[in-house]
Amino acid sequence: MDAPYAIEMVNITKRFPGIIANDNITLQLRKGEIHALLGENGAGKSTLMSVLFGLYQAEEGVIKKDGKEVKINNPNDANDLGIGMVHQHFKLVQCFTVLENIILGVESTKGGVLQMDEARAKVKALSEKYGLQVDPDAKIEDITVGMQQRTEILKMLFRDNEILIFDEPTAVLTPQEIEELMVIMNNLREEGKSILFITHKLNEIKAVADRVTVLRRGKYIGTVDVATTSKEEMSRMMVGRDVNMVVDKEPAKPGDVILKVENMTVASKMHSNNAVKHVNLEVHEGEIVCIAGIDGNGQTEFVYGLTGMEPLVEGKITLCGEDITKSSIRQDRHKHGLVLDYPLEYNMILQRYYQPDFTSGAGFLKRKEIREYSERLEKEYDVRSGQGPITIARAMSGGNQQKAIIAREIDKDHKLLVAVQPTRGLDVGAIEGVHRQLIEERDNGRAVLLISLELEEVMNVPDRILVMYEGEIVGELDPKKTTVEELGLYMAGAKRNVTVDANSSEIEESEVIDTAAARKEEA
Amino acid sequence: MKDKKFSLKNPSLQSILTSLICIILGLLIGYIVLLMINPAGAGEAIKTILLNFLSRSSAAAQMKALGNTLAKTAPLLMCALSICFCYKVGLFNIGAPGQYEAGACIGLYAALAWHMNWVLCLIFAALAGAVVGAISGALKAYRNVNEVISGIMLNWIMLYLTNMVLSSKKVKDPASPYTIKLMSGNKSALIPSAGLNKLFANNTTVTIAIPLAILFAILIWVILSKTKFGYELRATGFNKEAARYAGMKEKQNIIITLAIGGALAGVGAAFLFLTGYQEWSTTQTSVPGMGFNGIAATFLGGLHPIGTIFASFFIQSITDGGALINKSVYPSQISDLISSIIIYLCAFVLFFKYALNKWISKRDKGGPNVNDVPVTDNAAKKEGGDK
Amino acid sequence: MVLLLQYTIIFASVLCLVALGGCFSEHSGVINLGLEGIMVMGALGGAVTMFLLPAGTSKIVIVLATTLFAILIGMIYSCLLGLACINFKADQTLVGTAMNLLATAAATVFVRAMNTSINPDNVSSSIQYIQPKKAFLKYIGGFEFNWFMVMAVVLLIASWFVLYKTKFGLRLMACGENPQAADSVGINVYKMRWAGVLISGFLGGLGGIVYITAGVSEWKFEMGVAGFGFLALAVMIFGQWKPTRIALAALLFGLFRALSNVYTGIPILAAMKLPSTVYNMLPYIISLVVLAFTSKNSRAPKAEGIPYDKGMR
């Protein structure tokens, strides 16, 4: 017999100008279940949650609590209904203690004085009941990310919330911490709490969730039982089959090694664990290598490490045979910055302004040359703006800002092009344009390293795919031979074919032993 | 109608418009204060403040008074340029008065104790200001000290230091708390008039300092908008990260910027004290208002060096006008009140512009929009073309 | 030596009060560079009250009324900061600076207008309060005890209590550290920031009247408060935004400030024959040096100076 629904979002539609973020989505969370919400970046998960918390009002559809329709106009309404959320970026005050953070907003006082003892006792009891070990008097800034997350969970429990939402809770955790979190979630379910678990990671869904609702591009794909659905099926539901945007290209003719990264490890700013772990890779001239993976698996830190914006914990980077690990300023690095208050033309020369092309011997900017250069780039790369070169960058659309950066970077004289999510925010036509340019770059004998979150791009543009999962390269795939489903499994950490310290393509296919999953089956 | 719409979206025009709103509101509040003090003469008083030299009776007196106002506009403009230049690089140079004091100190000392000519005195004044500015800059760059607080501290330190240095027997008039008049102490240190005084009813304080200050304004504008150096500094001010990634030296830029700002303020002091307009009083216990009025001129001038020229003249003019009102009824500080209200209102400029643009876009709604979707609210103002 | 102690304590009281004012404002997330102006306004409110109270008013009434009006005017004036920086998200540095200039100008205009209206020949910007000031004083031997010293100590303890022991303090500090977090648990960030600013107006206004009555019996409002508001900010930074440390820092700075009043009476210092300007400069120089050594690792509230916008989550 199925439990009744704790909260229901029925036929929710939320439109933004030019886009339907949620198109007739239904999400029904049963009492005492862990319900996963699965979808790629941009599938509409965060919009749906914003609707649930009253940050947005849906145009159509209703929200029901215990079968009764409710109106949620702001986060306080949601709190009053017993809905709590662990945000991806914790809402904690760093210099407060765990206890202070927990009671913030629901403090009890006697004669104006904070009554901490009572609260401490309640927190201790909750900690024991659910296995949430954390010192209530430790300061947030001194404890691990995992403990901070427990503080967030305790915050919800302290408020007696019945519906707990976890927004990608494992993104910032170490494997051990993830395992502990899975146990905690199980405990919470056993105590009758209803949990909504937002994630892209199939293994985790398999490990703890009862049912899963899948969204894709703002649309509701379906809700299925986890026990009876394979990871492959879920992956298919998540990415869809309609990946048919084929990019015309000749087979690659790789030449010499341009970029060689050996054993690169980069520390994380978010947690004490390393964000990039022992990465080895090579990019040859005349090939496009893509680092694929779900957002937050170390790609950003990898780029920071590669471009010298972050120091390496260890490792070596060789560019065209030259060790550039320690050079302080790397002229070839990719810079994804715009000075938003500068006109477009000034942004186009941001890394080259000092060159004789743009600055005269006397130190004056060559306005005419800059203008012409900017106009040329705008035309070649189809950068659209209100007033051409004199448009302030801030006034341009995100997509065109993106294109301006691409134009600037590609137009530089270089051996290696590092393109980080070059098509994010672009429309289909523009995406094609960027892909064409990347391939043209390759055909001109340059080495291209593409970092992408978009599956179609990963499948169509590169000559080799390296999948990054939790800071490691877990798989090397040939886009012509692999399938989206297989790629999805690698990206979700369910499969790997590269061992941590391998720097050759020694392929050893093995399912990752999933301790959390095993534990669940025992239970 | 169409033309008007387009011109309203022009950012320069918007700046002028918002400045005018600030001025009008400032004057209005000043007028209300005058009414509260004594309703009978309030209208006359506000008129005097506004008209300043024009309220004099004869043409010659008017020109002479205009000359005085201009003579004090030059140092004010330099202080405003100092603040404007630093603000463009993201630094709030409230230490301009301290740099101004340093300029006065060394400029006058060079003139009276070392008997140098005016060019050298000017250079020394600039250097002194630059050193004080650089101290703030270095504290900011290397010790993370907020430039506003270090600036204020240096304002007071330099005030007392200047009083101390200029109390020396070599430069101070033994009979008064003032420094020796340059006329008697060292004529060569007086900035030449080059015949300009003839235009202003032989007002000897009208010197080439006035055109020089305007030249400085143009120079600052050229440096900021036309050179590689200005490009770097402004990029640093707008977006430190992007500037650093483009290989610019952020710390060095902070120090250089405040040093330049300091030099400008130092020259400003020289432009006052080397014209013989007034002498330094070694017993003064408050930081000269010149630097602070510079803040008003900067913001009123829409943070543009050229706009600053006009704003400086306006601020100086109402300050001098304030001195002309009937002192037995109204306090002359009413002008300071008006300029400080204007500064306060300038804090709302962004809001004014935002409201203006919102109003424009509301009015334009439904009209053809060929441009990109703006990513920010104030983006609308960039849409109007001047092509 | 008694004199040095007396001046140290009274100046430390000023610095402590004003720095605590800055502390509350900054803990709520608003940088208050306008403290100097708030002090001037508080001083004006207090001085005018003392001036206008009829001769023969009982001491307790003088003390209470003066204090009350200084505080009231300080709080009203701080609304300029709150309005611009919290509601209109204006540049906090610019607003603070404008408030400092405005306060001195407005106070001067007011005092001169007041003086002239009483006596058309009086165009000075000074207020005398020789007689009413005595209400605050009590002589204990050679030591001139001032009721303001008690108020400073009481408010110091109260500040510590409010910040660390009450619900309000917890919420206030949350708004200065992480307003998004505070908002997510249903705290109204705007309200808390207004509270912080108003408290800084309260303490700043009180500090103003204490300052101008500290050593003299007449104040010339054209002088403002001589950068004391900024010294208080330096005290606050040196005190790491913590009331107890602020009190100690205030004593140190108070000592240096007191030296300029009494150095002639201290044989060793008098023998050194340094010009008086050296002592005038001392507090400012000390604060620059102290800031240079403490700003690097400052524990300033993380979200201070950043306008909070509910839309930007």
Mean pLDDT of A368-384: 86
* Host H or E run for residue A292: strand A288-292
Interchain CB contacts (distance < 8 Å): B and C: 150
Give yes or no: residues A422 and A408 share one domain: no
Among the listed residues A233, A185, A240, A181, the one whose alpha carbon sits nearest the alpha carbon of residue A212: A233
Mean pLDDT of A20-49: 88
Give yes or no: residues A409 and A430 share one domain: no
Please determine, for residue A101, whether its predicted confidence score (pLDDT) is greater than 90: yes
Q: How far apart are CA A421 and CA A176, in angstroms?
A: 30
For B212-267, how does the pLDDT look when each residue is reduced to its tens digit (9 = 90+)? Answer: 999 999 999 999 989 999 999 998 888 777 777 777 888 899 999 999 999 999 99
pLDDT, residue C173, reads 96
pLDDT, residue A231, reads 82
Count Cβ neighbours within 10 Å for each residue of A293-303 and write b for 16 or more, e otherwise.
bbebbbbbbbb
In a domain, residue A318? The reply is no
For B229-296, what is the HEC assignment?
HHHHHHHHHHCHHHHHHCCCCHHHHHHHHHHHHHHHHHHHHHHHHCCCCCCCECCCCCCCHHHHHHHH
Give yes or no: residues A40 and A103 share one domain: no
In a domain, residue A248? The reply is no
pLDDT, residue B240, reads 75
| Owning domain of residue A14 | 5-82+162-239
Are the beta carbons of A91 and C178 separated by less than 8 Å?
Answer: yes
Are the beta carbons of A341 and B373 separated by less than 8 Å?
Answer: no
Give yes or no: residues A121 and A172 share one domain: no
Determine whether A246 is exposed, middle or buried from the number of CB atoms within 10 Å of its CB (0-12, 13-18, 19+).
exposed
Angle at A447 between CA A443 and CA A449, to 5 degrees: 120
Q: Distance from C69 to chain A by nearest Cα, in Å?
A: 27
Q: How far apart are CA C147 and CA C16, in angstroms?
A: 15
In a domain, residue A115? The reply is yes
Token reading at A494: 């369910």
Q: Distance from C180 to chain A by nearest Cα, in Å?
A: 7
Are the beta carbons of C186 and A79 separated by less than 8 Å?
Answer: yes
How high does pLDDT run on average in chain C?
90
In a domain, residue A9? The reply is yes
| Domain end point (choices A210, A239, A268) | A239
Q: How far apart are CA A62 and CA A69, in angstroms?
A: 7
Angle at C231 between CA C227 and CA C237, to 5 degrees: 145
Please determine, for residue A501, whether its predicted confidence score (pLDDT) is greater than 50: no
Confidence of residue C312 (pLDDT cuts 50, 70, 90): very low
CATH number at residue A455: 3.40.50.300
Q: Where are the beta strands (DSSP E) in A118-235?
A: 163-167, 194-199, 211-216, 219-225
Give yes or no: residues A428 and A514 share one domain: yes
More confident residue, A136 or A250: A136
Total number of domains constituting chain A: 4
In a domain, residue A146? The reply is yes
Q: Distance from C96 to chain B by nearest Cα, in Å?
A: 9
**pTM, two decimal places:** 0.82
pLDDT, residue A44, reads 84
Please determine, for residue A518, whether its predicted confidence score (pLDDT) is greater than 50: no
Are the beta carbons of C123 and B94 separated by less than 8 Å?
Answer: no
Give yes or no: residues A104 and A207 share one domain: no
Give yes or no: residues A443 and A301 share one domain: yes
Give yes or no: residues A366 and A496 share one domain: no
Most distant CA pair in chain B, distance? 76
Among all residues of chain C, which has the CA nearest to that of B351? Answer: C88
Judge whether B321 and B48 are in contact, CB under 8 Å.
yes
How high does pLDDT run on average in chain A?
82
Among all residues of chain C, which has the CA nearest to that of A106? Answer: C185
Those chains having 3 or more beta-carbon pairs within 8 angstroms of chain B are A, C
Judge whether A488 and A235 are in contact, CB under 8 Å.
yes
Mean pLDDT of C279-295: 89
Q: Which of A331, A363, A395 lies nearest to residue B228, judging by beta carbons?
A: A363
More confident residue, C189 or A395: C189
Count Cβ atoms below 10 Å from residue C264 Cβ, excluding itself: 11
Domains of chain B: residue spans and CATH? 72-331 (1.10.3470)
Mean pLDDT of A281-299: 87
Give yes or no: residues A65 and A172 share one domain: yes
Q: Distance from B252 to chain A by nearest Cα, in Å?
A: 16
- Cite the DSSP H helix spans in B146-249: 147-166, 182-185, 196-199, 209-226, 228-238, 240-245
pLDDT, residue C36, reads 94
| C-alpha distances in Å from residue B295, one per residue of A172, A384, B353, C22 | 47, 38, 20, 23
Q: How far apart are CA C66 and CA C47, in angstroms?
A: 7
Cα A327–chain centre separation = 30
Q: How far apart are CA A93 and CA C179, in angstroms?
A: 9
Count Cβ atoms below 10 Å from residue A12 Cβ, excluding itself: 25
Domain range annotation of chain C: 13-226
| Domain end point (choices A159, A180, A201) | A159
Judge whether C176 and C196 are in contact, CB under 8 Å.
yes
pLDDT, residue A330, reads 36
In a domain, residue A439? The reply is yes
The interface predicted TM-score of the complex, written ipTM, equals 0.89
Count Cβ atoms below 10 Å from residue B32 Cβ, excluding itself: 12
For chain C, what is the HEC assignment?
CHHHHHHHHHHHHHHHHHHHHHHHHHHHCCCCCCHHHHHHHHHHHHHHHHHHCCCCCCHHHHHHHHHHHHHHHHHHHHHHHHHHHHHCCCCHHHHHHHHHHHHHHHHHHHHHHHHHHHCCCCCCCEEECHHHHHHHEEEECCEEEEHHHHHHHHHHHHHHHHHHHCHHHHHHHHHHHCHHHHHHCCCCHHHHHHHHHHHHHHHHHHHHHHHHHHCCCEEEHHHCCCCHHHHHHHHHHHCCCCHHHHHHHHHHHHHHHHHHHHHHHCHHHHHHCCCHHHHHHHHHHHHHHHHHHHCCCCCCCCCCCCCCCCCCC
Q: How far apart are CA C245 and CA C249, in angstroms?
A: 6
Confidence of residue A427 (pLDDT cuts 50, 70, 90): low
Give yes or no: residues A486 and A396 share one domain: no
| Domain end point (choices A362, A380, A413) | A413
In a domain, residue A51? The reply is yes
Give yes or no: residues A281 and A172 share one domain: no
In a domain, residue A53? The reply is yes
Q: Which of A104, A112, A113 lies nearest to residue C185, judging by beta carbons?
A: A104
For A163-186, what is the HEC assignment?
EEEEECCCCCCCHHHHHHHHHHHH
pLDDT, residue A272, reads 64
